[in-house]
Amino acid sequence: MAIYRLIRLAFVAALAMSLVDVGRAHALSIELKDVAADRVERQRAAAAGALPLPGTPNVAVLQERLRDKGVTLAAPILIRIFKSESELEIWKQKDDAFVLFATYPICHWSGTIGPKLRDGDKQAPEGYYTVTLAQARHVGRWPKSLDIGFPNILDQSQARTGSNILIHGGCSSVGCFAMTNPVLDEIHQLTMAAIESGEEIVPVHVLPFRMTDLNMAAQDSSPWKAFWNNLKEGYDLFERTKRPPAVNVCSGRYIFRETRPGESVGPLDACGPTLMAIREQDQWLSNVPPPTAVLPRLATQSPTQTQQPPIPQIQTSLESDQSPTLMFSWSLVR
């Protein structure tokens, strides 16, 4: 029995030492696995308190920056996200078109370029989304955030699953876009001001990269080339008119229409066949029985064996947008 007491004492001592900096170094080492180098550096900077990130506008002088751009806080906005460049843009309406107000570095997003396909794939989505007043609040870790509305109608027609894809603060994310708290405060303020002043639906364009002809040519061999060609239609229309296009969905594609000056984009709509396909999927899913609960497996022991004290095991868990949590499990050893 003495040996087990020693094991327990050693375990407690090791655990105490590991908890000294578990909130920073330990969480960072797990999250940075298989992440692009630029995102690694931003997470390190945020963990070290080296904020704001390089290239971040001065959020302390918002009103001054608005005056310099000749726009108002209440003016309608458009949000554009470019995953490869790790940048989020805010465009503000000025007269009959939109002007670029600010470009913010994204502190962290997960996955790689390409759309989100299913819940739990830790992939950030791509496509054309919208934010309403109801999506500007979130219950959970990030009460001040923007839910971009994934899955949208096209995602649903392609049976893509997931939920709660947010633009939020901090620098930790699994599927969302983490902007750091000060930057998120400004983005949220700009969005809420626009909504409360009459822009009921804020368009959010999430793109794999800046969709220039040169960047597209570099992706000729990608399996997502056809999907990205479709996204580029909306990108090109906005680049030409500097007004967010109206977006509909039909036959697995986005359909774009040039908007008139001052026209609101409205919600995404879909053609009849697409809506029918979504309804059929919903009916099929409603008939699928829920998965059987998996009971924890216990180690067995023969009656002739003498029971020995359990040896603790440590494992880490990283779920959703939360930092790794230490979990304990006990198993009987023979």
* Active-site pick, 108, 168, 188, 205: 168
User: Using an 8 Å Cβ cutoff, are 321 and 147 in contact?
Assistant: no
Quick check: is 168 catalytic? Answer: yes
What is the CA angle 44-40-221, rounded to 5?
A: 170
Label residues 282-311 b or e (16+ Cβ within 10 Å = b).
Answer: eeeeeeeeeeeeeeeeeeeeeeeeeeeeee
Q: Could you give the C-alpha distances from 89 to 100, 161, 187, 253, 334, in angstroms and in order?
A: 7, 26, 10, 24, 59
What is the CA angle 178-179-180, rounded to 5?
A: 105
User: Using an 8 Å Cβ cutoff, are 250 and 271 in contact?
Assistant: yes
Place of tokens 């400004």: 186
Label residues 84-97 b or e (16+ Cβ within 10 Å = b).
Answer: ebbebbbbbbbeee
* Distance of alpha carbon 280 from alpha carbon 274, whole angstroms: 10
User: Using an 8 Å Cβ cutoff, are 52 and 180 in contact?
Assistant: yes
Place of tokens 């008939």: 287
Size (the chain), residues:
334
Backbone conformation region of residue 150, classed left if phi is above 0, alpha if psi is from -120 to 50, else beta: beta
Quick check: is 205 catalytic? Answer: no
Place of tokens 């830790």: 122
* Active-site pick, 107, 108, 171, 176: 176
User: Using an 8 Å Cβ cutoff, are 72 and 11 in contact?
Assistant: no
Active centre residues (catalytic): 168, 176
